[in-house]
Amino acid sequence: MDAQDLLYKTIQVLSVFCNGTPSTYREAMGMKEVEKWRKACEDELRSLEEMGVWSEVEAPATTPILGTRWVFALKTNANGEVMRHKARLVVQGHCQIKGINFEETFAPTPTFTTLRSLFVIASAFNWKVTTFDVTTAYLHSEIDEYIYVRSPPGGSINKGKLLKLNKALYGLKQAG
């Protein structure tokens, strides 16, 4: 084991030790809370399948295939007590190739100055400010490109098959 591998392994161990959140699927499956992490993964996969995010297809011969990985989090209440274990499946979009997996991308995001200005105006006119969150917002947008991904660790697709994405998945350039 070289110094870089040792450093990487140390960071992984400290990450789990400090906050109980695994950084890989393998780590999650080796923890004492394995059933909670497994259920979180199953819930995420079920949600993605119900939303029609992908279709199981034969592996095309010359198409680039992107990997997937799990991102884990512990959701806590105001007192810091763990309320649930969350798993999110992400595509390794850093491997996407412009012109093949995506064209141009754009995520309309207001600058801090714009937000501050809006709050000043709202305050001056005594307007009520409301915020909201669109649950699984990225998963509602369909994609035009043909993007194929490998089954996630713990996924159960047939051997020799891939997942063709029908909608944007976290981690893609198209997801913002």
Q: Give the pLDDT confidence score for residue 146 in this predicted structure.
A: 81
Residue 148's SS3 state is: strand
Q: Are 171 and 92 in contact (CB under 8 A)?
A: yes
Q: Indicate the residue type of 139.
A: L
Amino acid at 48: L
pLDDT tens track for 79-107: 888 899 999 998 876 555 555 555 555 56
Please provide the average confidence, as pLDDT, over all residues in the chain.
Answer: 79
How do residues 147-159 score in pLDDT, each as one tens digit?
888 888 877 777 7
